[in-house]
């Protein structure tokens, strides 16, 4: 543990404000697998203009571009900033959980055929494009209207929308803030999975911790679930790239003296800050629509192979900045909350939640690494009061992709998954090695920490049956 951090309680460590820091930094962790680079990054975040309360690191914290992945920070909308590095290149990289309406025995009996059919219907891999073609007019409608628009086009059902964060559509966005390069990269990738840590996973619910909430969410012991983990593809990546460049070129004086040049930012009220916010929301809407189209393809696969219907449980965003209100120093304050590899975790009674989840709190999905468990949780009032309504987003890396490629064997990983009874279809052996379980923290421990801290509570645990990767 770095000397600068002081233990404040179980899983709670504090770096007190010092030097250029404007707030304390709070790390929620057991310290077993944290690298000091990531801790320095959350300390750097605490130096940024307009930051309020504290900068937070979730238990899945690891090094990222600018902000650590697992970093949460809020900035006053009047005198604070917005930073592409506080959102990430894969804007609204998120997770969606589906549940199959039918017996697990049917799915397990046809698992090989099912995995193959999904692999055929959903293009996977780096730069992979879709057979779906949208006109520029329709593309503009999609990125400014999100999942709602593709549901209207036939990719889903209207009732899906209340089971998506923000109903799958963020209104503050303008297509004129998106570059031609971003459009060119994104226009053929809707309905594709991508590569890296993105996946589709067929799972079985093996434990339920809160039967009443699980029932509201639509899952039970033995339920078959499907996780979709993907984001805004090249479209979001280009938007991040564009605005990092714009901020470097046009706001040199404002960004002078940053502790890390990757923390490039714009004042939120500045025209460039507002343009990035608008373009970022276009990418977020793209990601919601992307996961909705993939859901449609997965439904087709289950119907054709198993004769079963598939329902949406919930869809959460990970890499995003949102304007929200919190009580800070006794007054209601409007802030722009950056969640970089962190999940929104609103508690019961939050007016932003649909009536369906108003009594339970918001569903939270924390996936594990390939071949390990994933969890369905629920948000809490404590998260709203403490961490700007935020919790962890996954297991969190311990090995970089290059390290994993050097140290691990694809054949061994494939054999280990086979021994566990997990069916794997992947585009490349390199992708398998980069996403091996050994490259990640123990998701069970990450979930234990957030559950014990009370920033989200366990509802159900799922284990993998079949995995599709780029």
Whether residue 369 is annotated as binding a ligand: the answer is yes
Whether residue 199 is annotated as binding a ligand: the answer is yes
3-class DSSP state of 75: strand
Contacts of 337 (CB under 8 A, 6+ apart): 72, 73, 74, 321, 322, 323, 324, 388, 389, 390
Whether residue 368 is annotated as binding a ligand: the answer is yes
Do 379 and 370 touch, CB atoms closer than 8 A?
A: no
Give the residue numbers annotated as catalytic, written as ranges: 393
Residue 96 to residues 80, 296, 313, 377, 464, Cα–Cα distance (Å)? 31, 12, 8, 13, 15
Query: What sign results for the dihedral spanned by CA atoms 381, 387, 389, 391?
Result: negative
Whether residue 198 is annotated as binding a ligand: the answer is yes
Whether residue 318 is annotated as binding a ligand: the answer is yes
d(CA 242, CA 233): 15
Q: Which residue is listed with tokens 């549901």?
A: 151
Whether residue 374 is annotated as binding a ligand: the answer is yes
Query: What sign results for the dihedral spanned by CA atoms 428, 233, 258, 388?
Result: negative
Whether residue 393 is annotated as binding a ligand: the answer is yes
Do 160 and 151 touch, CB atoms closer than 8 A?
A: yes
Distance, first Cα to last Cα, the chain: 36
Whether residue 469 is annotated as binding a ligand: the answer is yes
d(CA 387, CA 228): 26
Whether residue 229 is annotated as binding a ligand: the answer is yes
Whether residue 8 is annotated as binding a ligand: the answer is no
d(CA 69, CA 45): 12
Whether residue 395 is annotated as binding a ligand: the answer is yes
Whether residue 270 is annotated as binding a ligand: the answer is no
Whether residue 147 is annotated as binding a ligand: the answer is no
Spell 9-25 as b/e; 16+ CB within 10 A means b: eebebbbeeeeebebbb
Binding residues for GMP, as ranges, are: 197-201, 318-319, 367-370, 374, 393-396, 469
Binding residues for Mn(2+): 90, 198, 229, 318
Question: Annotated binding site, which residues?
Answer: 90, 197-201, 229, 318-319, 367-370, 374, 393-396, 469
């Amino acid at each position: 543990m770095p000397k600068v951090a002081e233990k404040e309680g179980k899983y709670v460590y504090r770096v007190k404000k010092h030097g250029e820091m404007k707030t304390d930094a709070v790390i929620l962790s057991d310290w077993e697998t944290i690298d000091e680079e990531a801790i320095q990054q959350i300390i750097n975040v605490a130096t940024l203009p307009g930051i309020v309360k504290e900068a937070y690191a979730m238990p899945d914290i690891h090094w990222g571009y600018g902000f650590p992945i697992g970093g949460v920070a809020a900035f006053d909308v009047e005198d604070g900033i917005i930073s592409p590095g506080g959102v990430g290149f894969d804007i609204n990289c998120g997770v969606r959980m589906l549940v199959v309406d039918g017996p697990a025995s049917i799915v397990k009996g046809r698992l090989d055929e099912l995995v193959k059919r999904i692999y055929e219907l959903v293009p996977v891999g780096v730069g992979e494009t879709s057979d779906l073609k949208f006109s520029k007019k329709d593309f503009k409608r999609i990125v400014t209207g999100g999942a709602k628009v593709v549901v209207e086009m036939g990719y889903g059902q209207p009732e899906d929308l209340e089971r998506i964060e923000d109903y799958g559509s963020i209104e503050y966005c303008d297509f004129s803030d998106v570059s031609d390069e971003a459009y060119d990269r994104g226009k053929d990738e809707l309905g594709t999975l991508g590569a890296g840590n993105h996946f589709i996973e067929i799972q079985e619910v093996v434990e339920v911790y809160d039967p009443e909430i699980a029932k509201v969410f639509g899952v039970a012991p033995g339920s078959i679930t499907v996780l979709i983990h993907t984001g805004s593809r090249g479209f979001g990546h280009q938007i991040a790239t564009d605005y990092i460049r714009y901020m470097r070129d046009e706001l040199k004086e404002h960004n002078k003296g940053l502790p890390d040049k990757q923390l490039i930012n714009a004042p939120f009220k500045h025209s460039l800050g507002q343009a990035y916010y608008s373009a970022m929301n276009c990418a977020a809407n793209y990601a919601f629509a992307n996961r909705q189209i993939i859901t449609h393809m997965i439904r087709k696969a289950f119907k054709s192979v198993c004769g079963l219907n598939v329902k949406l449980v919930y869809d959460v965003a990970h890499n995003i900045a949102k304007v929200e209100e919190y009580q800070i120093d006794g007054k209601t304050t409007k802030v722009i909350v950056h969640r970089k590899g962190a999940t929104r975790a609103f508690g019961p009674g939050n007016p932003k939640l649909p009536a369906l989840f108003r009594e339970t709190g918001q569903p939270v999905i924390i996936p594990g690494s390939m071949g390990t468990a994933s969890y369905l949780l629920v948000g809490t009032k404590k998260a709203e009061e403490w961490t700007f309504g935020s919790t962890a987003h996954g297991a969190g890396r311990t090995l970089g992709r290059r390290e994993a490629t050097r140290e691990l064997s694809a054949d061994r990983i494939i054999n280990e998954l086979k021994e566990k009874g997990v069916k794997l279809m992947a585009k490349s052996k390199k992708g398998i090695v980069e996403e091996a379980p050994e490259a990640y923290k123990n998701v069970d421990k990450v979930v234990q920490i957030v559950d014990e801290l009370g920033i989200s509570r366990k509802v159900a645990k799922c284990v993998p049956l079949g995995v599709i990767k780029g």
